Structure 1
Amino acid sequence: MNMLRQLSSSIDTKARLMIVEDEKIIALDLQRRLEKYGYEVTGLSNDGSEAVTMAEKDQPDLILMDIMLNGETDGVQAATRIFHDYQIPIIFLTAYADQRTLERAKEAQPFGYVLKPFKERELYSTIDIALYKSGVDKALKKHDRWLSAVLHNIGDGIIATRSDGSVEYMNPTAERMTGWQFNENAKSTVRLTDILPLHDSQTHLNVPIPEPDSIPVDSPVFFENLLLINKAGAHIHIEGSFAGIYDESKVCEGLVVAFQDVTTIKTMSDTIMYQASHDSLTGLINRDEFFAQLKRTISEHNGNTPDHLLYLDIDQFKVVNDLCGHLAGDELLRRISKDIRAHLPPGSAFARLGGDEFGILVQNLPNDELSGFCEQMLSLVQRNFTWKHNVISISVSIGVVTLDQATLDPYAVLAAADDATYLAKESGGNTYRFYRTADFSFLKRRGEMQWVARLTKSLENDRFVLFEQPIVHLSDSSIAKREILLRLRDDEDELISPQVFIPAAERYNLMPAIDRWVIRNTFRFIAESESTIKYSINLSGASIADENLSGYVTAQLEEHAINPEQICFEITETTAIENLSRAIDFITRMRDLGATFALDDFGSGFSSFTYLRNLPVQYLKLDGSYVKDILSDKVSMQMVDSINDIGHVLGMQTIAEYVRSAELMRALREMGVDMGQGYEIQKPAPLADSIAIDRR
């Protein structure tokens, strides 16, 4: 409408008219009159062919055309050609009013027909109306061109119908998607239901197209998740809308359908949903999806259905990864999952829960068949896995929980299955264990699991306490450094030894958080007390395996402005060897900053001097289980003496643990051990007290 207003208002400007009249005197008189009223006359002609040529050249806004002209081309013929070729509006100005002439004149689609003689007011009114109608007509044609261009180039398919469902219009996108080539001449015979057969994308059932008059005015009906099976048989996922076409009286004249191809989006969405619920390595459902199915099964459980959860853990998986590499581990998981999946009862849910752990939810399996099923699973997994030149015997540990009225919490069910699996593995693997609430083994493990919440809460509330024990030079009893030790303060303010809670922390992967707490608070203590003493901090195997640990330590050193030379990290022999590459990397990074390292409890684990030579540590701590018996046991004496000598050959200083008597301390000094630590020197004490002792 804005376009129409703009074009119609432009008519007020000076219009350019052309006069085609066979009587020259009449033409000149008409020119004078028109110019008097402000019109511009572009030219005069009395010949039809000449008039066509002049119209092409001058492009006037309007032509006043007489019907009887000189030459072979009369006014009707000339007007028809001009309007068809140049869209210039025509007003016939003639003395002929017979029916035959009027019928011929209609072919030129004139904008007016004025009979001679005419009154000026009549002529000027006809001219003004013709110019206005011409402007409106041009605006509408321009609007139609724009609309046609939009409909032909839009990415959505557009189909319009009459009220009876016959197709009136299809744009090229709709033709391409439906496979139909729309024929204007046959549009009355083609129906929308033929062109657009719709089906539910899930069930593939037919979906009816709404009747045009069933759609409310100005309220389109939107649809999605529909499948268009086109003329070529292709399946296209579409979404879009149906809208009614109504006249000014709200009478429905037809239907317009706008739809778009969402097949690619649907495929991507399905892929994303699949990836979100499935394990990419094995193709099994993942932990989240398995938990959802377990939850659904439990909610539908009526107490009579024999449903069971099996939790599987591959026994030698870490050996495969360490010895053969992760590609071999991945291949083993794929083979095992394929073999198990092929032998599961219909309706079973089988998932990879993470790492080398799997879950099986078996429904409607009688209790008397459960043991046989577990034996079958053991047999399916048990194999000699060959990778290159390595052959590894593979088995599985299985924990079994039968769903009953007492196991209606999915979290509790998974926890119970995990308990049973752990105990099966503790029994040597390649076996299965049923969960029994009254079994002491389960009660003990449940007690360990309760430490998880307790330790997590203690971390959040800073319930840990730092202790220390000095390490002295045996030559003069001067303090070399102090080892940081950890205690836990319970709700009654009683101190709990680490031997009580560390096993649970290690089993449930809480040691990295505890180690970071110790590092952070030790560094804070050093900074606040301005201590210059060197401190030893113990690190667990889980922390050494954490590739982000070095970054964390570096950040804490910078935050508290600690000299790295004041820090010595202690790692056990077993921890170092089990995480050899990661341990070497961490030690190297920290040594570059100035920190030192001690290998703790050497002699209690692998006792491999080959490993020792490859570990860049400065201190070697002799295992206390040997140190404490050197006065009474020649083997222990020889062991300590040998390790001490090897340590010195490798350029390390040695530290003896468990120094509990003056005689023992003297023997170690005579043996050449560099440093000692134990009750004879000082019992562990709160860290804050050590500063007071040092300052005295």
Structure 2
Amino acid sequence: MNLDDILALASNQTLSQLERARARRSTRRVQQEYQRAVSEGRDLIDDIDLRDPLAPDVDEAARISRAAQLAKLGTLTWVRASEELTWSDEMSLIFGYPPGTVRPSIRLLTRLIHPDDATEVRRTVEAAWRERTVKETTYRVVRPDRVTRYVHCHVEFVVDGDNRPYGIVVTGQDITEIELARQERVRLARRRETVRTELAGRDPATGLLSRQRFADEIDTASRAGSGVLLVVAVEPVAPAGGTGTDDQDRLASAVATVVRRAARRADVCGRTGFGEFGVLMHRTTLDSAAALAEAVVDGIRAQPFVVGQARLRLDAVGGLVRYQGRDETRGIDLLVDAETAWRQARESGVPCVALDQPAPADERREICRNRVRAYLADDRLTLYTQPILDLRLNQITRQEILLRLMDEGGKAHSASTLLGDAERIDEVLPIDRWVIDRTMELIARGAHTSHYQVNLSSRSLGDPHLLEHVQRSIRHYDVDPGQLTFEITETARIANLTEAHNFAHGIREIGCQLALDDFGSGYVPFAFLTYFPVDLVKVGGEFISGIQHSAANRTIVRSIVDMCRALGIRTAAEHVEDEVTMNLLRDYGVDFAQGYLVGKPKPVNTPHRPVSAPAEADYADPERGLRAATG
């Protein structure tokens, strides 16, 4: 290739903005040197000794700068002797300045580096100088137009041609796109680790859907077409001498296995209550569903169950209800109808009873109301207590009052199903009043140093007379209000937010405290903590179980604890079942722990001396009761 070819090739090559800028600066430098030579009278024709900038006898700073220029990297040089700072055209562009438009300085460089990264950059430079080595760092640059870029730099200690300390040379590259891609990969990996593959809501003992999740599945199925719902009730028999809860969970797991095996692959199974199991059969006939129901009932009756040292044969009955697609009946209402059907089967002595259609709303409501009143009238409600550990003192200082139902066999089990039905038909207030009175009686007989936490339905909070009832009961049993904390849950169901707000502040005024249960698991907005005088937040048990294996749960719990501490609210954790979890909670600053590791629920001891209940006349006349309570 001759000179003409090279010139032709150069003329066809489009120059970049950087190359054009370099050409202009080179032209200006040649013109300036020419004018200076003329003014000094120097001979403009002379031999030039060209030197290779990468030759061994050239100083390190020049070699590094030349290598960076060839690699299209920016360079920044600080000379120790003069403390002069210079940077290359490439580095100037990284910093957001057109080449030659600003004079480099330490002050300008400091202003360009993101404030959060300035300390790390300074530490890296000092380490490179002190250790006379090469260091790497990535930092953010905030350009004059306020655009932020990520820059990765090698910071090198250099010497001059005589091997004496010369200064620092930094070679940098804009890696914004690379860094953002890396951050996105990290975020996606973290999200894959923390997100759950399915909604929460499985029964821990059986792995079946919980009652609420099962009801949601019924809602979804009923909107899509017709089908049949089956609820099987198993006679709740526990082994003699057993501890109760553990044996019942093992028994429930064994029964759940029988139910799963009998159900079809497309059917949805759930644990709908204590001794209750549901099977949702979508797009099937009532006759087909009845045949499956009989197979499930016969399978449970024929299957011997071994729990501990006991060998059991259980009784079972089934209730079915057929639903039509796109009607107004909710999933929870269909559950109530199926439960009514199995109760009819038990009363009639037949394996199954089937309802051809859901019950009318008024009839269903009356059935639920009668069931709630029957539990109260038959004295089948009882109280249990579960200890709460103060993690600061490592001492049990509180007891939670738990409501339990007594079945025909004298065994106690959860009252959640009854309470759910009672809330839905606005019949939960009598139950809450019963719990309040029995708790006051318990406190009056117990140690006055104990503290008790009492659960109240959020539906009851909307009743304007609830606070008056609490005041009457406290006065009647001569209880110290400071021994009481009232727990509320499911704030989305509060019937009257104003009345609930008044109750919360009224409770605080008489000396009691207020707790929020299952925080993070329901629909409680954070704003609730600002306008309700909450003293204690109980973190939802689903975030505590298996927390040592879940980075997401650990993050959520730490965040709740930090937020509550800033708001002056104490925190408690439920479902604590191992030492690892307990130690994590201590490290996070949780105040209280509750669970099987601390202690299992136990029945309240039989009173050793009689204490009369408040007069029924006081309950019938709220104003009279209030006058008595306030003196």
TM-score range, shorter chain: 0.3 to 0.5
Question: Relative contact order: is structure 1 or structure 2 higher (C-alpha 8 Å, sep ≥ 6)?
Answer: 2
With structure 2 as the length reference, what TM-score do the two structures score? 0.39
TM-score, with length taken from structure 1: 0.36
